[in-house]
């Protein structure tokens, strides 16, 4: 059985979830407001921020995506999102 995840896992994950959620909201908004340049700029800035947050998280807890960059294969290892 994989060992229990530290509190840090949840706090770091929630930061990623927050940025990702803002990206999702802007994505849907831009689908109906394609000319809003400010919203588009904000979306690209948040995407950059997500990349920065992903790096330390994936180094500690494994890849979030199968094509994530790591020094070995961590993606298919438990726990899965519904288990944490």
Q: Which residues bind another protein (CB under 8 A)?
A: 10, 13-22, 24-29, 31-33, 36, 38-39, 46, 62-67, 75, 80-83
Exposed (0-12), middle (13-18) or buried (19+): which is 26, by Cβ within 10 Å? buried
Residue 51: CB minimum distance to another protein, A = 13
Residue 7: CB minimum distance to another protein, A = 13
Nearer to another protein, 67 or 71 (CB): 67
Distance CA(79)–CA(56), nearest Å, equals 18
């Amino acid at each position: 059985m994989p060992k229990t995840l530290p509190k840090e896992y949840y706090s770091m994950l929630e930061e990623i979830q927050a940025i990702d959620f803002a990206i999702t909201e802007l994505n849907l908004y831009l689908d109906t407001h394609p000319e809003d340049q400010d919203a588009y700029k904000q979306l690209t800035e948040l995407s950059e921020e997500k990349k920065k947050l992903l790096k330390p998280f994936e180094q500690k807890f494994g890849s979030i995506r199968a094509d994530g960059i790591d020094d070995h294969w961590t993606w298919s290892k438990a726990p899965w999102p519904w288990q944490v």
